[in-house]
């Protein structure tokens, strides 16, 4: 028996009414948290900004306007408050990873240490990998970094030095990517990918990330879509280890490298992978963590190198002070990590580079525990997702002063020891905190301690187009390209 028009109309009204009341209830529970108009009613604002390429700046601007805890979605809050961030990530914190991490999977069927949402499992993987990331089992860690930075210097010198008669522009966005990929593959697997020697992206990694990062940002912002995307019947359409390009190719490389460490003719090496296996990582776990190493260990370091170099060479006073410190110090060639840590202005430049442009900007939201929590006098109900605004933290005038938007390394040399220590404590949030702190922090520190010294002791860099120094798109991590510079030999070098 067919329904009459009146019944269909009534059903439609009831459905619309139910949706409206449901949305109203969702808005009501967080109505006391400030934020952009209507952001609490739907994810439209959040989705539009997340895929717009400047979400790192959008969230910072919102935090500056509305405060250090803001509402940007029906159940999503963001914070630029270091105290809240440390509270959520502390070792014994009751907060847990949110659904955002479900979209951060690098493999359709497996969770890496980064994307794993089961806390016990996450801590187990961290424990197995911690020694390897710290470099304690790899006596050639620093030497491997030195060798690859030397290759970068060598090929810049042989292929990209310009003269008054010849102009050979170099894209430092690509060169830094090649460098960090070769470093992480060398210390992780014992053999570099060979990007620097080929002067090319031999594994099509850059193109892969251009596709992956925006997708991961979309899936993280819209967790329901991630569940559909990774739905088992659809996985045959996703990257596979048999692919010849893209993420599938990287998955295949990881599988092959790990497989060589097992079986009767297994290879035993004192590299990061060898350390992982020695501390109990299974073959399947090692495959997943190897893939994570490549992505997490290359992009963030490359971003830090690009941003810091850009700020050095566009600030003549900063560059002059840094060059004076380097030339007046009795440094080894290459500089050792221990020597670099004793150079106050170099360390100030590195910290300021991380502060002015933190490399990792994904939501990385945590879920408020049962019973809710009170943050800065505001009650936040259980189940609410709280992400972070890294640029909001690192450009907060309350923390850094009225010139927080300015690249000024001198701020790290000002004030009493307690004030400097607090600044260092805050800037380290670039690497996360507590049980979520980046295990690659030590490796990144060694890379940054060396790369600027070796480049600046050999070359002068000049931006080709100061009005547009690079192309930059933010998708949780940065997609940067066309960082064109004119390279000339520094005379005299030191």
The answer to whether 132 and 277 have CB atoms below 8 angstroms apart is: no
CA-closest candidate to residue 450, choices 174, 144, 136, 178: 144
Q: What is the DSSP string of 362-398?
A: ----EEPPTT-EEETTEEE-TT-EEEE-HHHHHT-HH
Local structure of 402: helix, strand or coil: coil
Q: Which two tokens stand for residue 195?
A: 């990007």
Distance CA 111, CA 340 (A): 37
Peptide bond into 429 cis (omega under 30): no
The H-or-E segment that residue 29 falls in is helix 5-29
Tell me the residue length of the chain: 494
Pairing of strands 459-463, 471-475: unpaired
Token pair 């300015």 in the structure block, residue: 406
Residue 38 and residue 41: Cα distance in Å, rounded?
A: 5
Six-digit token string for 130: 């911690």
Secondary structure class of 198 (helix, strand, coil): helix
d(CA 1, CA 481): 64
Q: Is 438 annotated as a binding residue?
A: yes
Closest C-alpha to 184, from 301, 270, 302, 297:
297
Place of tokens 């690659």: 440
Residues 6+ apart with CB under 8 A from 424: 351, 412
- Binding site for heme: what residues are annotated? 438
Query: Binding site membership: which residues?
Result: 438
């Amino acid at each position: 028996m067919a329904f009459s028009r009146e019944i269909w109309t009534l059903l439609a009204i009831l459905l619309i009414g139910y949706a409206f009341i449901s949305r109203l209830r969702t808005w009501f529970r967080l109505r006391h948290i400030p934020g952009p108009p209507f952001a609490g009613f739907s994810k439209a604002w959040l989705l539009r900004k997340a895929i717009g390429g400047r979400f790192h700046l959008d969230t910072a601007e919102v935090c500056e306007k509305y405060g250090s805890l803001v509402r940007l979605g029906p159940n999503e809050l963001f914070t630029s408050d270091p105290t809240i961030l440390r509270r959520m990530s502390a070792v014994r914190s009751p907060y847990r990873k949110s659904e955002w991490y479900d979209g951060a999977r690098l493999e359709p069927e497996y969770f890496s240490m980064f994307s794993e949402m089961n806390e016990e499992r996450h801590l187990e993987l961290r424990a197995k990998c911690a020694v390897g990331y710290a470099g304690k089992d790899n006596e050639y860690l620093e030497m491997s970094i030195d060798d690859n930075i030397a290759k970068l210097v060598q090929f810049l010198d042989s292929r990209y030095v310009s003269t008054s008669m010849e102009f050979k522009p170099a894209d430092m966005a690509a060169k830094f990517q090649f460098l960090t990929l070769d470093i992480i593959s060398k210390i992780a697997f014992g053999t570099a990918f060979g990007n620097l020697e080929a002067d090319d992206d031999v594994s099509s990694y850059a193109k892969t990330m251009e596709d992956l990062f925006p997708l991961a940002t979309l899936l993280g912002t819209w967790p329901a879509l991630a569940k559909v995307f990774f739905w088992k019947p659809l996985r045959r359409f996703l990257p596979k280890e048999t692919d010849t390009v893209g993420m599938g190719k990287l998955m295949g490389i990881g599988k092959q490298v790990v497989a060589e460490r097992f079986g009767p003719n297994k290879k035993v090496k004192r590299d990061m992978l060898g350390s992982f296996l020695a501390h109990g990582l299974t073959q399947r776990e090692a495959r997943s963590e190897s893939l994570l190493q490549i992505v997490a260990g290359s992009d963030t370091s490359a971003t830090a190198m690009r941003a810091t170099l850009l700020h050095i060479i566009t600030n003549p006073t900063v560059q002059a002070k840094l060059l004076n410190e380097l030339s007046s110090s009795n440094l080894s060639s290459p500089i050792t990590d221990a020597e670099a840590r004793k150079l106050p202005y170099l360390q100030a430049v590195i910290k300021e580079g991380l502060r002015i442009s933190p490399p990792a900007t994904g939501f990385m939201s945590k879920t408020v525990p049962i019973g809710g929590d009170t943050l800065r006098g505001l009650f936040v109900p259980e189940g609410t997702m709280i992400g972070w605004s890294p640029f909001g933290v690192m450009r907060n005038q309350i923390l850094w002063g009225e010139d927080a938007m300015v690249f000024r390394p001198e701020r790290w040399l000002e004030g009493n020891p307690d004030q400097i220590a607090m600044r260092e404590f805050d800037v380290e949030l670039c690497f996360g905190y507590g049980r979520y702190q980046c295990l690659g922090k030590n490796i990144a520190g060694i890379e940054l301690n060396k790369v600027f010294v070796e480049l600046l002791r050999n070359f002068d860099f000049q931006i080709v187009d100061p009005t547009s120094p690079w192309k930059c798109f933010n998708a949780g991590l940065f997609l940067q390209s066309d960082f064109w510079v004119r390279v000339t030999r520094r005379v005299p070098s030191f």
